[in-house]
């Protein structure tokens, strides 16, 4: 028994030392003191104390001495693990160097700075930005008729002119060159509002303001290039596109086969130094109408004309549409979308050095340029589209669920429908929270490359889930296209959003956790760099720090999981309703940090091939980011107590999802390691169960009530003010009226049952109910008006046969 108690004390001493993050000498000292105290208290022999405590303490003490540790421990470990740890290629290093770390690094370290998180300024617009949103953006939204745009397969000429004249294509261009120079918040908001009206219009606006000529010139162009192109881009005199993807280089864009060779040639009648380049690019948005092509290619200098190495690397150039040999103008048909997208190619096209972005000094710097700007651009445009699509689905289907009645009640009251509504509501909330927080980081000057990757793939994937739910709820009406169908165009466009700017399947399984761990982990990148450099000093410092941090993280994770996170300390100003949620977030981050260490040590460089594990770890990181953003966003919105049921549901849902992802990883660790790690993360069993049905019903009911709360959950969804017959405007009017007349519906139901009445198309049963004093004249007329609106909401578009076969839209019949 004494030996058993001694072992317990040893474990406790080690855990306490780890928790306190003592260095090796501190550990040794702690064990020596513990040995003396335990030997005295339990009156065990000195031999047992030395064997069980003092011997390990002395070994630890010796290892703590650098002169002994480096040759006997660190150097052999270097030799052992150098083949195991992943090598960082030049392209990977460029991607790692391109971004910054912040909250993602805190998550990987297991210590989220809640005070810093909550102090991030909430979304705000300048007076100029707000005026643009209230003026040109609102005006544009009123102009957009998505059905007609999809039939014409292009924006109307007047819309294109408006976009150019009002500066929509130059939001990222500095004011000094005629652009709007809007913040990330404003860019995202403009794209969001447009996306709620037309996907094609949103794409046409976001592409010139994302990775492409405007952004590249602003950051890397020569002053001469900026003066020439930026004012023209800002006013739409030039329409840009950017060509990166090729036939053999999709997700692996760095392996592009488009090649340029440094040579001399003739340009404008003069012999100049330039590049002879051949390319074959596809999927290039705006290429069919673009006047300026941004082109990425691999540059070589086999003849040494530049006086350096023959392999120069990826380079970016600007090629005018009418430049000899540049072929543009053809179109792809991406999922039936109306936005412009197509291929471009050229064979042995000579371009002068002045076409290279940044001139000759930026030769071979293209990959770095692209990674640096992708870290920002990927966080704005597609996440805005995914977030707004999810909020639009929520606004549309929550209204429809109250208006549409079956079995004598709104379908939104049925639990099967309510479950889908609650899922959409939770996704809409967390995506909007993440949009606000991510853009705030961009406004602060951060380039969150890992978080932007997380947000892009999660926003577009959750959009797919939301639209699947919405389509299921709306049923037959949702699958019949036409002017009154508010869901199908978005549903058809989801695969495009999921694919571009890094296919989700790749981003999730290969990039997010791999790059996140390298960038966010406190020691991993330092260790890899030290190994690659053969630097024993740097490796020894990183390794000893890593070991101590791993032990501390494991101890803290075990303790706080054992105590359910209740003993985690929070700041005094944390809102009381969120205190328990913040504790669970912090506890979960600790568990993720510990599991990350285990995964990295277990798989080493082989992690690239274990993409199912890497993908599940990416899911864990995503859940933690969304929980952090969601809690902060509640405060940003004004800390409304009536919104707390949604917050509770969001946290329950994401903690459960995180738990299941972790359990999946634990079940796939090598050599049964999961059995050893699981007690640290789940010492008391599972953290969470799925949300209770009562929670789900409550959230579903919340979003079926018109008013400020529903508006808070669906910001940026533009509801037309002047288009009276617009399908969304009609649905909104029907929704409000159906909600306000629920008592009358119940009155009608009771009266009809009493009188034995049934509703038929050729009978005005409100007359009968009025005759029998069930309704008065005003009530009957109110319900007739509501029925007319309900008829429009439920109606399915129909076309005259001949015009339908001809693909003409004028066969649509508005049903009054």
pLDDT digits 0-9 by tens, 48-68: 555 555 555 555 655 667 888
The 10s digit of each residue's pLDDT in 83-120 is 766 666 666 677 667 778 899 999 999 999 999 999 99
Give me 316's structure tokens: 């970016």
What would the pLDDT profile of 142-190 be if each residue is shown by its tens digit? 999 999 999 999 999 999 999 999 999 999 999 999 999 999 999 999 9
Q: Write out pLDDT tens, residues 425-436.
A: 999 999 999 999
279 contacts 344 by C-beta, under 8 angstroms: yes
pLDDT band at 19 (very low <50, low <70, confident <90, very high): very low
C-alpha separations of 497 from 209, 227, 229, 361, 459 in Å: 16, 33, 29, 35, 9
Instruction: Tell me how far CA of residue 717 lies from CA of 229, 395, 412, 732, in angstroms.
Output: 34, 8, 21, 12
- 724 annotated active-site: no
User: In the predicted model, is pLDDT for residue 591 greater than 60?
Assistant: yes
In a 13 Å sphere around the CA of 57, the CA atoms on its Cβ side amount to 21
Tens-place pLDDT, residues 278-330: 999 999 999 999 999 999 999 999 999 999 999 999 999 999 999 999 999 99
| pLDDT tens for each residue of 221-275 | 999 999 999 999 999 999 999 999 998 887 777 788 899 999 999 999 999 999 9
CA angle 119, 123, 129 (to 5 degrees): 145
For the segment 115-143, what is each residue's pLDDT rounded down to a tens digit? Answer: 999 999 999 999 999 999 999 999 999 99
Q: What is the percentage of the chain residues whose pLDDT exceeds 70? A: 89
For the CA atoms of 672, 673, 675, 676, what is the dihedral angle to 10 degrees?
140
CA distance 388 to 373: 23
State both tokens at 97: 């160097």
What average pLDDT score do residues 784-811 get? 79
pLDDT at 18: 46
Q: Please report which confidence band the pLDDT of residue 348 belongs to, taking 50, 70 and 90 as the band edges.
A: very high
Which listed residue (129, 189, 432, 501) is catalytic? 501
What pLDDT shows up at residue 812? 46
> The tokens of 368 are what?
């770095």
pLDDT in tens, 741-759: 999 989 888 888 888 888 7
pLDDT exceeds 90 at position 694: yes
- pLDDT band per the 50, 70, 90 thresholds, residue 29: low
Mean pLDDT of 444-455: 92
pLDDT in the model for residue 304: 95
- From the centroid of its chain, how far is CA 553? 28
Average pLDDT over residues 788-794: 92
Per-residue model confidence (pLDDT) at position 765: 79
- In this predicted structure, what is the pLDDT of residue 134? 97
Q: Is the pLDDT of residue 30 over 70?
A: no
This prediction has a pTM of 0.91
Collapse the DSSP code of 107 into the 3-class scheme (helix H, G, I; strand E, B; otherwise coil) and give the result.
Answer: helix
What confidence category does residue 455 fall into, taking pLDDT thresholds of 50, 70 and 90?
very high
Asked if residue 631 has pLDDT above 90, the reply is yes
Report pLDDT for 721: 80
Enter the tokens of residue 375.
């870290």
pLDDT beyond 90 at 73: no
Q: Which residue is listed with tokens 């709007």?
A: 180
- Strand-pair partners of 653: none
pLDDT value at position 571? 80
Candidate ranges 72-86, 160-174, 201-215, 793-807; pick with highest mean pLDDT: 160-174
Per DSSP, helices labelled H in 20-137 are 24-42, 46-49, 55-63, 66-69, 75-81, 90-98, 103-109, 114-119, 127-132
Residue with tokens 């060509």: 243
């Amino acid at each position: 028994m004494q030996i058993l108690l001694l072992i317990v004390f040893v474990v406790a001493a080690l855990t306490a030392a780890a928790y306190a993050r003592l260095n090796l000498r501190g550990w040794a000292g702690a064990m020596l003191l513990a040995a003396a105290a335990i030997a005295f208290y339990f009156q065990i022999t000195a031999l047992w104390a030395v064997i069980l405590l003092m011997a390990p303490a002395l070994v630890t003490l010796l290892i703590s001495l650098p002169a002994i540790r480096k040759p006997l421990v660190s150097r052999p470990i270097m030799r052992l693990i150098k083949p195991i740890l992943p090598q960082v290629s030049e392209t990977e290093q460029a991607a790692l160097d391109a971004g910054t770390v912040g909250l993602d690094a805190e998550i990987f370290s297991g210590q989220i700075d809640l005070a810093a998180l909550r102090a991030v300024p909430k979304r705000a617009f300048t007076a100029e930005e707000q005026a643009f949103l209230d003026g040109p953006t609102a005006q544009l939204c009123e102009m957009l008729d998505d059905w007609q745009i999809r039939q014409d397969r292009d924006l109307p000429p007047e819309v294109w002119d408006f976009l150019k004249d009002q500066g929509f294509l130059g939001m990222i261009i500095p004011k000094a060159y005629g652009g709007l120079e809007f913040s990330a918040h404003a860019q995202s908001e403009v794209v969001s509002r447009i996306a709620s009206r037309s996907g094609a219009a949103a794409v046409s606006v976001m592409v010139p303001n994302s990775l492409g000529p405007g952004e590249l010139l602003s950051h890397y162009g020569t002053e001469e290039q900026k003066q020439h192109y930026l004012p023209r881009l800002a006013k739409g005199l030039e329409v840009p596109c950017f060509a990166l993807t090729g036939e053999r280089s999709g997700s692996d864009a760095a392996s592009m086969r488009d090649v340029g060779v440094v040579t001399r040639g003739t340009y404008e009648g003069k012999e100049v130094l330039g590049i002879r380049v051949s390319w074959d690019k596809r999927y290039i948005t705006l290429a069919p109408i673009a006047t300026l092509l941004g082109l990425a290619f691999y540059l070589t200098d086999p003849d040494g004309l530049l006086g350096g190495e023959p392999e120069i690397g990826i380079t970016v150039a600007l090629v005018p549409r009418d430049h000899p040999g540049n072929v543009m103008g053809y179109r792809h048909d991406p999922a039936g979308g109306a936005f412009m997208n197509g291929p471009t190619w050229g064979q042995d096209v000579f371009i002068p050095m002045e076409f290279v972005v940044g001139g000759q000094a930026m030769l071979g710097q293209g990959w770095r340029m692209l990674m640096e700007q992708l870290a920002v651009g990927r966080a704005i445009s597609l996440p805005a589209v995914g977030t707004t699509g999810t909020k639009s689905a929520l606004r549309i289907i929550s209204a429809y669920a109250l208006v549409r009645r079956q079995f004598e009640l709104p379908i939104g009251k049925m639990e099967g429908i309510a479950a889908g509504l609650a899922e959409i509501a939770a996704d809409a909330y967390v995506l909007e929270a993440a949009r606000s927080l991510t853009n705030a980081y961009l406004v602060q000057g951060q380039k969150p490359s890992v978080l932007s990757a997380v947000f892009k793939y999660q926003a577009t994937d959750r959009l797919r889930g939301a639209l699947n739910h919405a389509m299921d709820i709306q049923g037959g009406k949702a699958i019949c296209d036409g002017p009154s169908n508010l869901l199908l165009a978005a549903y058809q466009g989801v695969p495009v959003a999921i694919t571009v700017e890094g296919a989700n399947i790749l981003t999730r399984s290969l990039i997010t956790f791999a790059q996140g761990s390298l960038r966010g982990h406190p020691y991993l990148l330092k260790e890899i760099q030290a190994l690659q450099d053969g630097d024993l000093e740097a490796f020894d410092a990183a390794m000893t720090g890593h070991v101590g941090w791993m032990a501390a993280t494991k101890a803290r994770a075990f303790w706080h999981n054992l105590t359910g996170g209740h003993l985690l300390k929070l700041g005094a100003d944390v809102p009381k309703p969120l205190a328990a949620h913040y504790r669970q977030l912090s506890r979960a981050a600790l568990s993720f940090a510990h599991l990350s260490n285990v995964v990295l040590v277990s798989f080493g460089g082989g992690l690239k091939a274990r993409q199912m594990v890497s993908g599940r770890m990416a899911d864990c990181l995503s859940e933690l980011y969304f929980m952090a953003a969601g809690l902060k966003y509640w405060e940003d919105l004004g800390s409304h107590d009536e919104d707390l049921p949604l917050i509770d549901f969001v946290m329950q849902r994401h903690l459960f999802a995180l738990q299941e992802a972790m359990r999946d990883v634990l079940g796939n660790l090598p050599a049964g390691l999961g059995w050893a790690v699981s007690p640290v993360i789940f010492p008391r069993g599972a953290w969470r169960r799925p949300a209770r049905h009562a929670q789900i019903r409550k959230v579903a009911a919340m979003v079926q009530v018109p008013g400020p709360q529903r508006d808070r959950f669906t910001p940026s969804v533009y509801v037309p003010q002047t288009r009276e017959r617009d399908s969304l405007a009609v649905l909104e009017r029907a929704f409000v009226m159906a909600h306000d007349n629920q008592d009358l519906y119940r009155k009608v139901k009771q009266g009809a049952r009493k009188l034995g009445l049934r509703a038929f198309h050729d009978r005005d049963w409100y007359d009968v109910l009025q005759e029998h004093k069930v309704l008065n004249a005003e009530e009957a007329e109110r319900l007739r008006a509501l029925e007319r609106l309900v008829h429009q909401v439920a109606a399915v578009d129909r076309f005259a046969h001949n015009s339908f076969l001809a693909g003409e839209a004028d066969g649509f019949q508005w049903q009054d």
